[in-house]
Structures are given as structure tokens and as C-alpha cells.
Amino acid sequence: MKKILFISVRDPFSERYSGDVIRSKKFVQYLLKKNYVEVVCLGSTNKITTSKRLTIRSFKKDSPLKYIFNILISLIKLRPLHFSFFYSKKIKEFINDNHQNFDLIFCQSIRSFQFLSSKIYQKIILDMGDLFSKNYNQTYRQLSFINPLKIIYFFESILVRDYENYCLKTADITLLFSKREIRLLNNIEKNKIIQINFGVDKIRNLFKYNKNNYKIIFIGNIKYTPNRQACLNFIKKIFPKLKLKFSNIEFHIFGEIRDIDKNFFMRADGVKCYGKIKNLEPYLSKVICGLANLNISSGIQTKLLTYMSYGIPSVSSKQVLKNFDKISAHKMVHYNSDSDLVNLIIKFKESKSFSNQSSKRSLSAIKNFKWEKVLKIFDKIV
């Protein structure tokens, strides 16, 4: 059996509903079948828990004051600023002192890669997922010139791009969601990069068309700028037009959200915010469609996989579909303009055949994203 050090900025067993946590938990559980795994992560307290072949070593997050200090250091050293919110000197020291005790090091995201020194010679697998630099560059282009965050996102996209290149050259194997993003990489050994999908556990056809269906749903972490912008744009520009035609229509948002955004969004008639929900099934009756209307998107949008896994018709921006392979993207509905989005949702609402066909295509496409298929590829990599 191998001894594997699994580094993550979040506890894989925290039950947080986010893509990185779900994926980390799946990978750790799979690794435990044949290996000893020690997880090092950030948490609310310093603690160590052990069970059979698993050890979870949690290090307490820094104080807000320390975050400010970390940001200043990042500015001086020209490191990505957002890394500062996930940095821990104690984690770095632990890894430097103990890395030689492990056969393999697994880093979940480039945020975890920052804990590795250049003196580590074990095999390193990096689950990069998607390219943050592309995401930040898209955000920079979307923001107004009067928005002070525009310049921050511009420089952050450059710093993250440089760090991604360093990670890609340093890690023995890097995992990415999208074949398209792999093709975009230059001056990198492509044989060190492996495309591996995000996964879903179960496929259940819960969708039932009814002309009285009234819910449009959006799933995602609303603290994440692209998701927040997508919801805000829909509430401001699209939802009022739908309300004029269907007075009872509602927009339901699921995912972590700041109170200020929740209160602001729910000022609009028919908008409901539920926060983090562990089990979505009780909320999926009377759904018209799921929404993936992001203008800023890299990698694979897990919200779209969630809709598909329940057989729910969905509508996506072209930006979201760019990173899916052609076979999967061909089975998904997308829009080209705001008026196009409005018309598609009306068609989902009014046309049984259109909705059911979309549902069937979703159920067909999602079969390629079952965890059992993803983990077979993962097993060969390890």
C-alpha cells in the first residue's frame, strides 16, 4: 500500500456543497481502497482525526488581520492575491518536515500547491480542475471601467497564469476538466496533462412536464462573482420580461449566499433564495428548466451536470458550453442573446415536446459523467 499525502484548502468531509469538496471526497474515498491517506487541510480549529487508513489533519484558518498581512506579502512577492485567503504557515511547515514520509503527494487545486517547496521530490499529482487565469481574465473584461475591481482582476489574471504555468511544469501529472483548455496551453508537455471529468453519483429522471410548472432554478455558490453576476443579470434583464407573460413564474436560487445579496435579490417579486441545500430533490417539482447563464466561465460547470443528472431541461450561455466536448455540447440548449434566452424559457414553459426532448438529451449526455467512469481513469493515473 502507498502512503498518500492529500492536500486541500477545504476539508473533503466538511459536507460543503461545492465542486472542489465533492470531488476531493470522491478521490479520497477511492484512494482509501488501496492506500493509506493523510489529508491536510484548513479548518475552524486545529485537530487530528483518524479512522482505519485515513488521517485528517486540520489546521486553523488565519485571522482576518493575518489575511491582510498575507495579501501585503503577496503584493511584494508578486504572488496571486487570492492565495492569501488560503495560506497557512503551519501547513507549509508540516509538509516541509514530513513530505519524505509519503510515496505520493496529491494537491487539490493550485491553492494547495502553494504549500509545496521546490525541494520536494515525491511524485506530485495536481487536480487543477480549470484555469483560474482564464476565469479572472473574463471577469476583468466583463467589469465596467469605473469598477475598481477591474484592475485587480487584470493583474490577478496575469499572476495566476504565471503560477499555473509553474504548477504545470512542476507537477508530474495535472488533471483538467476540459480538453479545450488543454489545447489552449502553450509550451507545456501535453503528456503530463490528463483530461478527467467531474462526476455525478446517480442519474434520476425527476422531470415531469406540466404547463403549470413555474420554477426556474439556479444552483451555485453565489459568493462566487460569476454566479452572482449571472443571477443579478437574470433578475434585472430577463426575469421581468418573463413575469409580464407568466405572472406566477418564480426564480429559485440554491447555494451559499451573503445576506446582503439574498435580501437584495429577494426584493424582486418571485425570487427566492434557499442558501445551501444538501438534498435538492424536494425542491425539484414544478421546474421549467435549470439556468447556466454565466458570461464568465472556465472548466466544467457542475450546476449543469446537476440539472442533467435529474433530467431537468437546461439552458446555457455559449461561454458555458465552450468547455464541454462537442458530443455533449450538441445535446444541450444554449442561447445567443437576452431575447433568445427569454424565448427559450417560454418554449420550455409552453412546449411539452421541446422540454421532454431536452430532458432526454440531458439524460443521455450525463452518462459520460458518472463517477464510476471518472474513477476508472483516476485509478489508472494513481
Query: 40-54, 115-129, 238-252 — which one is most confidently predicted on average?
Result: 238-252
> What band does 330 get if pLDDT is binned at 50, 70 and 90?
low
Binned at pLDDT 50, 70 and 90, residue 68 comes out as: confident
Residue in 215, 198, 283, 253 with CA at minimum distance from that of residue 22: 198
Placement of cell 493575518 in the chain: 66
Mean pLDDT over 241-260 rounds to 94
Q: Let me know whether 109 and 230 are in one domain.
A: no
Question: Would the pLDDT of 297 be above 60?
Answer: yes
Q: Stretch 337-345: mean pLDDT, rounded?
A: 94
Residues 102 and 46 in one domain: yes
Distance CA 334, CA 74 (A): 39
Give residue 52's pLDDT.
86
- Give the count of domains, the chain: 2
Domain that residue 233 falls in: 215-369
Q: Residues 164-212: pLDDT tens digits?
A: 999 999 999 999 888 778 887 877 777 889 988 888 888 999 999 999 9
Question: Which CATH number goes with the domain that contains 225?
Answer: 3.40.50.2000
- Does residue 204 belong to any structural domain of this protein? no
Are residues 37 and 173 both part of a single domain? Answer: yes
Cα separation, 108 vs 124, in Å, equals 11
pLDDT grade for 139, boundaries at 50, 70 and 90: confident
* Global confidence as pTM: 0.84
pLDDT at 344: 95
| 7 and 85 fall within a common domain | yes
| Residue at a domain's end among 161, 196, 231 | 196
CA-closest candidate to residue 220, choices 14, 2, 58, 18: 18
CB 114 within 8 A of CB 83: yes
Question: Would you say residue 382 has pLDDT above 90?
Answer: no
CA 136 to chain CA mean position, Å: 14
Give a yes or no: residue 17 inside a domain.
Answer: yes
Q: Are residues 179 and 91 in the same domain?
A: yes
Confidence of residue 134 (pLDDT cuts 50, 70, 90): confident
- Among candidate residues 169, 196, 223, the one where a domain is terminated: 196
pLDDT reading at 266 higher than 90: yes
Residues 73 and 162 in one domain: yes
Whether pLDDT at 327 is above 60: no
Cα angle value 198/225/232 (rounded, 5°): 110
**Does residue 81 sit in the same domain as residue 223?**
no
| Banded model confidence at residue 299, pLDDT cuts 50, 70, 90 | low
- Residue 17, pLDDT score: 67
pLDDT at residue 87 above 80? yes
Query: In which band, very low, low, confident or very high, does the pLDDT at 325 lie, cut at 50, 70 and 90?
Result: low
- Residue at 124 is within a domain: yes
* Residues 292, 315 contacting (CB under 8 angstroms): yes
Same domain flag for 179 and 224: no
Percent of the chain with pLDDT over 70: 97
Let me know if residue 381 belongs to a domain.
Answer: no
CB atoms within 10 A of CB 14: 16
Share of the chain above pLDDT 90, in %: 52
pLDDT at res. 328? 57
In a domain, 209, yes or no: no
What is the pLDDT confidence band of residue 329, given thresholds at 50, 70 and 90?
low
Q: Say if residue 346's pLDDT is above 80.
A: yes
> Which amino acid is it at 310?
Y
102 shares its domain with 219: no
Quickly state the pLDDT bin for 124 (edges 50, 70, 90): very high
The pLDDT of residue 57 is: 95
Considering the domain architecture, whether residues 271 and 339 belong to the same structural domain is answered as yes
* Position 227 in a domain: yes
Predicted confidence at residue 284, as pLDDT, reads 93
Q: Say whether both 189 and 97 belong to one domain.
A: yes
Over residues 41-50, mean pLDDT: 89
Nearest to 371 by CA among 9, 7, 25: 25
